[in-house]
């Protein structure tokens, strides 16, 4: 499995799951909580340099979005033409135009026997399952936050820190902090 990822994460954690990661920042961490233009460039370069992996893939799932902009094209029609028949591209960025050049919002396209699924807002197509999953995630988060019947706000814990916007009177969520401080 190959992952092209450029978000703020511990790349070593992803690599420990037997996943090859290409397209991350020079420090092993990406540049921002949401993909920015520089991140898209990194992923595009990685995909161009490693298009053979994409063309050999049985399934490609794309999710790249830039807030307030059209989704960046990461998979060109030329790469789709190289994919083997029966391959699938699941473009989860279809709502904003898609990461594959051939994606059509809310359509399933068959291009030379490569399926490109542009279904938008997938969770709305399965509301019961989405609600069940969401409620299970909330219960798991609450269980994680409570230790020995006390609320545990250990900010060194990645899950707790990642789900907290403020703590001890300070804004801890970087993107929110930048917006409020006007950076």
Among 77, 67, 79, 20, which Cα is nearest to 39's? Answer: 67
Give the Cα separation of 59 and 89 in Å (integer).
Answer: 6
Lowest mean pLDDT among 39-43, 137-141, 143-147, 175-179: 39-43
Q: What is the pLDDT of residues 56-69, one digit of tens each?
A: 788 888 888 877 88
- Residue 2's CB is within 10 A of a number of other CB atoms, namely 17
Q: What is the pLDDT of residues 129-169, one digit of tens each?
A: 778 888 999 999 999 999 898 998 999 998 888 888 898 88
Q: What is the pLDDT of residues 15-32, one digit of tens each?
A: 444 444 444 433 333 333
Q: Which two tokens stand for residue 134?
A: 């969401």
Give the Cα separation of 133 and 127 in Å (integer).
Answer: 10
pTM for the structure as a whole: 0.54
94 or 21, which is more confident? 94
> 117 CB contacts (<8 Å, ≥6 apart)?
88, 89, 90, 91, 94, 108
Q: Which domains are present in the chain? A: 1-49 (no CATH), 59-125 (3.40.50.720), 126-181 (no CATH)
């Amino acid at each position: 499995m190959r992952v092209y990822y450029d978000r703020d994460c511990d790349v070593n954690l992803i690599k420990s799951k037997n996943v090859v990661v290409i397209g991350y920042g020079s420090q092993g961490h990406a540049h921002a909580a949401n993909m920015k233009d520089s991140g898209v460039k990194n992923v595009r370069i990685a995909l161009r340099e490693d298009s053979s992996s994409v063309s050999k893939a049985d399934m490609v799932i794309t999710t790249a979005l830039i807030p307030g902009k059209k989704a960046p094209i990461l998979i060109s029609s030329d790469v789709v033409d190289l994919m083997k028949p029966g391959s699938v591209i699941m473009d989860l960025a279809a709502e904003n135009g898609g990461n594959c050049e051939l994606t059509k919002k809310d359509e399933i396209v068959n291009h030379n026997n490569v399926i490109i699924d542009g279904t938008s807002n997938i969770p709305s197509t399965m509301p019961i399952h989405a609600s069940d999953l969401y409620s299970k995630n909330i219960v798991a988060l609450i269980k994680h936050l409570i230790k020995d019947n006390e609320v545990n706000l250990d900010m060194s814990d990645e899950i707790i820190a990642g789900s907290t916007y403020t703590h001890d009177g300070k804004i801890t969520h970087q993107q929110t902090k930048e917006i409020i401080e006007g950076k």
